[in-house]
Amino acid sequence: MQGEGEIGLQDIAGGDYAVTVHRGPFNLLNKTYHRVCGEWIPASGRELSSAPCLEICLNDPEVTPEEELMVEVCLPLVSLD
């Protein structure tokens, strides 16, 4: 399968991810990243990998009020191998 026009395809690596749900306006996503990267990751003993983070919108921002927006934030972790 190939993308068309402005749509491309990218393989996403498997492995462990730290996953949390951000609730609220998109302009506050940095607070969620700060909480996970600045608090949870150091306390967990894990490290972030260099793979891209993923943000998955769980509702439609065109019709959802800002305070009800939900985004699944997935941060790739270094393998424990």
pTM for the whole structure:
0.85
Residue 81 — pLDDT band, cuts 50, 70, 90? Answer: low
Query: Residue 32 contacts by C-beta under 8 Å, 6 or more apart in sequence?
Result: 20, 22, 73
Segment 10-52, tens digit of pLDDT:
888 889 999 999 999 999 999 999 999 999 999 999 999 999 9
Predicted confidence (pLDDT) at residue 59 exceeds the cutoff of 90: yes
Quick count: other Cβ atoms within 10 Å of Cβ 31?
11
pLDDT confidence of residue 43: 94
CA pair distance 29, 22, nearest whole angstrom: 7
